[in-house]
Amino acid sequence: MPRYKLTIEYNGNGLVGWQRQTNGPSVQGNLENAVFCFSGEKITVFGAGRTDAGVHALGQVCHLDLKETYPSRVIQNAINAHLKPNAISVLKVQTTPPKFDARRDAISRTYEYRIVNRQAPLSLERGRAWWCPIPLNEAEMSRAAQQLIGEHDFTSFRSSRCQANSPIRTLDSLKIQRLGENIYITGKARSFLHKQMRAIVGTLKLVGDGRWTERDVALLLKAKDRRKGAASAPPDGLYLTKVNY
């Protein structure tokens, strides 16, 4: 039974997230339906990351098995044809060894969060970035971000609904860069806790607007208490950009 690795992108607006659910359309559900429409096979698509409702992806990776062998281009074109009009697109299809696992074999995941820091509200970019009209100091945000790099107990930065067995995670890098009115916050780790990146961004935003300091971030990390943290940033600006193997 051939196994295929798919690299996909999607706009998370209007979707309940990656995982198949009963309360609305999901990325996983739409992909499985598209595969069934062209192959007649009921399969399960396994993703590298379970993005939440409203979160986007530029480089999500998943795998699936089919009984029949098809050229990669045929699979890509057929799935994309049956995904319409959903804002989900298969960018690449590759055959893989039978034991390849999109989630377990990943050695790192990169998420990027985009803040649009300007006075005028968003129009074309609405739902695709976080609008922050108050001027943000990206240099202060970058200094504070250094407190979070490395292995830590990230209890203060995970959702109360997180099902991970341990709050210990290693954040390989956390970079802040301003390009004009856009501020990009990029985090890389082997794995992330539920809503970890959004909690981090919400905290760094408080540093950027002067309400918190670098020391406050360090104290929050040590507190191991989500209730003492900042509100999570909205899902609009978060993108899963890359999965490394």
Kind and range of the H or E run holding 130:
strand 130-131
Contacts (Cβ under 8 Å, ≥6 apart) of 229: 156, 157, 199, 202, 203, 220
Residues that are catalytic: 52
Distance CA 3, CA 81 (A): 20
Q: Give the residue among 26, 30, 31, 28 at the shortest CA–CA distance from 14.
A: 26
Distance CA 174, CA 183 (A): 13
What does the DSSP 8-state code read for residue 156?
G
